[in-house]
Chain A
Amino acid sequence: MSKQIKVYPTEPLKCWDEAKTLRKNYYEDYLNAHNKGGIRWAGGAWTFSAIPAGLGNDVYCITGEPYGATIAFYKDFASKCHDATEAAGFPRTLCAYMRNYWGAILLDKFILADGSVIDGYPAPDFIWQDHICCSHGKWYQVVKWLEKKKGKEVPMYCVDVSVGYSLEPSEPIEEYKKDYIIQQLNDGIDWLEKVTGRKYDDKLLCEAVWNEIRATSLWAEICALNQAIPAPLDEKTMYSLYVMGTLMKHKPECVAFYERLKEETKDRVKRGIAAVPYERFRVITDTQPPWGFLKIFREMEKYGVVSLGSLYTFGLIGMWEYKPDGTWVPKPLPPNKPKTREEALRAIVEWTLNKPEWAHFYRPELKTKMMKSIVDQWKADAVLLHYNRGCEGLSVHIAENRLGLLEAGVQVFPFEGNMGDEREFDLAGTLGRLTVFFESMGLKKIVE
């Protein structure tokens, strides 16, 4: 090891076990919901999950993308899911999460957070989804169709959220666009009462909406703490933490967890505790990683490289905004907690519409701008761009983001892969190219 390399103190994250338990319980609660007299529903991680919460405290969901990622992490099961989906006639060019999810239904198997696979896929009682990316538009239509083939009729409701995007406070999204979504949510509540036979509770709705707003703001605050040198968190670890916001952003457990995590991260910053002991080169990534190959991050650490996060990790769930001085900061909470259904629906729509990871669906330069802000504010030296064949939604325009970053003077390393289908990721080749990139940045391996 070179004498010149500074070594920062490190220590394990105290919240780690709690994160594991929360995620474990999440899948088990969904699986066992009926045994407890509860309801289970399915939808995407971006869906307005606070709305079904008004049906009661015994309502459990499974969000599709994190479930697809869980499958991807367990490559043997993922391989079986791919085979089943392709045998059913679906092409492998589709969203990899979606194929993993459909594969589990086709196999009639359910995987839990620890990788154990059990027989019988637990069909949802209803589907509650929103539409922004093209895969989301079709995902649950096929789920409904697959469940029907197995003899179960699953009612489905979808909310169209594709009304545009604004990064500029001076150009807010028009009221009629918000009203369009609020009306769909109002109709959706009537629909939920009808398909479940339950009376809707507006107090539970208001609590869930406020939880979601707090959780997604808290996550952004945690990510902002990673501007510190050394970074208190690395992205591989953050994947296990941000996921709570994709599973249960409307739940009090999520808020409580993020509050504890924020305090712990602040303490790490104060004491100079690093995620990577040899930190000397800071990068950010983009889009989902190839989930079956997260060891890439450990390889990077051998060069003293820390991945601080990404627009994906920060903004898939975390909520941000631009201040008048041009800095990108965690979005502050609205002044008041909603007290009525109308207030709650308006609050959650206004909060959600400027989700950072929705920007690129409309204009790639908005995404480039936010990525450049992260590079500047988090003091990143380079961007690793995953040309992710498994996700059309988050990869759309990514080559334009590369050009935009290059024009802004940012070092960019693109690599091809797939977040959920290991057949489309070349580990050795990618590691080889990463080595070249790091060498070209003047880095050498510090530890073997």
Chain B
Amino acid sequence: MITAGVDIGAKIVKVVILDNGKVIGRGKALVGFDVGKSASDLFETVLKNASLSRNNVKKVVATGTGRESVHNKPPVNAEEVVSEVVADAVGAFYLVPTVRTVIDVGAEEGRGVKVGEGGKVKDFVINERCAAGAGTFIETMARALEVKVEEMGPLSLKSTQTIPMNAQCCVFAESEVVTLIHSKVSKEDISKAIHDAIASRIGSMVLRVGVEKDVVLIGGPALNPGFLPPLKRELNTDIIVPEYPEYVSALGAAIIAAKDGV
């Protein structure tokens, strides 16, 4: 049975096509102003690359902040929508059956999910109000440092000192970075300070639901080599990053579709 999961995040849309538990197609694209169109275009591209049409897909489940934009709307026609938290838990459990804690860091939201038997959500926490604990924070700071976002992680690994960043908000944190730049602090050290800060925020948020092994980190920032070390330090635990961490939520949605409902 072929099913699909569509994860429409604040910045990136991801699509996963599943055939009897095996991923046969995946793709991602930026979300434009027309969220539904961005998701639909990507969905059709991924289907085409897999030599499929919508008729070949038995069921589509959408997740993510923009999930309603494709709910029962062509061409995606997602029959079901589920929250990111549920999709995160199912996707992570599929990849790492021993998972008990999922940390999902997206563009504008961070989430901690306590996972029970069978990938069920036992408890969850989502960051409130500010993207200072999410991927956009790193992007904003990269602009302030005038480096590419993908350079931020490697830069931070070259740092030689620890500098605390206290601001709890993206806007004020940017001011703090500008102050550090004017103080002639190196880009490497500022980059590390930024990663430490985001890890601190995500870490303290996840601790609210409790950290139980195995811990799995998913979402785009999981690909950032500068983010994992401070998060491990913050939580004082090993963290598993699965292959294609940014697709785990879409994968979870596709698995839910295969189960014919949540």
Interface flag for B216 (CB, 8 Å): no
Instruction: State the main secondary structure of chain A at its contact with B.
Output: helix
Checking A411, A432, A444 against B262 with a beta-carbon cut-off of 8 angstroms, the contacting residue is A444
Interface flag for B121 (CB, 8 Å): yes
Query: How near does chain B come to A444, taking the closest CB pair, in angstroms?
Result: 7
Determine if B128 and A436 form an interchain contact, defined as CB atoms under 8 angstroms apart: no
Determine if B121 and A440 form an interchain contact, defined as CB atoms under 8 angstroms apart: yes
Determine if B129 and A435 form an interchain contact, defined as CB atoms under 8 angstroms apart: no
In the bound complex, CA of A44 to CA of B115 (Å): 45
Interface flag for B180 (CB, 8 Å): no
Given A433-B126, A435-B83, A439-B82: 17 more A-B contacts, CB < 8 Å: A411-B123, A426-B128, A426-B129, A429-B129, A432-B65, A436-B83, A436-B84, A436-B85, A436-B86, A437-B124, A439-B83, A439-B85, A439-B121, A439-B262, A440-B121, A442-B262, A444-B262
Interface flag for A416 (CB, 8 Å): yes
Interface range, B side: 10 to 19
Checking B65, B86, B128, B129 against A440 with a beta-carbon cut-off of 8 angstroms, the contacting residue is B86
B60-115 with Cβ < 8 A to chain A: 65, 82-86
> Can you list, as one digit per residue, whether each of A406-423 has a CB less than 8 Å from chain B (1) or not (0)?
100001000010000000
In the assembled complex, 25 residue pairs joining A and B whose CB atoms fall closer than 8 Å, in A order, are: A406-B123, A416-B128, A426-B128, A426-B129, A429-B128, A429-B129, A432-B65, A432-B83, A433-B126, A435-B83, A436-B84, A436-B85, A436-B86, A436-B124, A436-B126, A439-B82, A439-B83, A439-B85, A439-B86, A439-B262, A440-B86, A440-B120, A440-B121, A442-B262, A444-B262
B128 contact set on A, CB distance < 8 A:
416, 426, 429
Taking beta carbons and an 8 Å cutoff, which residues of A are in contact with B?
406, 411, 416, 426, 429, 432-433, 435-437, 439-440, 442, 444
Query: How near does chain B come to A428, taking the closest CB pair, in angstroms?
Result: 10
A435 contact set on B, CB distance < 8 A:
83
The residue in chain A whose Cβ has the minimal distance to the Cβ of B86 is A439
In the bound complex, CA of A169 to CA of B63 (Å): 52
In the bound complex, CA of A442 to CA of B120 (Å): 9
B124 contact set on A, CB distance < 8 A:
436-437, 440
List the 4 shortest-distance A-B pairs measured between CB atoms, nearest first. A440-B121, A436-B83, A436-B85, A439-B83
In the bound complex, CA of A411 to CA of B128 (Å): 20
In the bound complex, CA of A406 to CA of B208 (Å): 12
> Can you list, as one digit per residue, whether each of B121-135 has a CB less than 8 Å from chain A (1) or not (0)?
101101011000000
B126 contact set on A, CB distance < 8 A:
433, 436
Query: How near does chain B come to A441, taking the closest CB pair, in angstroms?
Result: 9
A411 contact set on B, CB distance < 8 A:
123
B113-171 with Cβ < 8 A to chain A: 120-121, 123-124, 126, 128-129
Residue from A416, A435, A436, A437 whose CB has the most chain B CB atoms within 10 Å: A436
B82 contact set on A, CB distance < 8 A:
439
Query: How near does chain A come to B120, taking the closest CB pair, in angstroms?
Result: 8
> Can you list, as one digit per residue, whether each of B44-69 has a CB less than 8 Å from chain A (1) or not (0)?
00000000000000000000010000
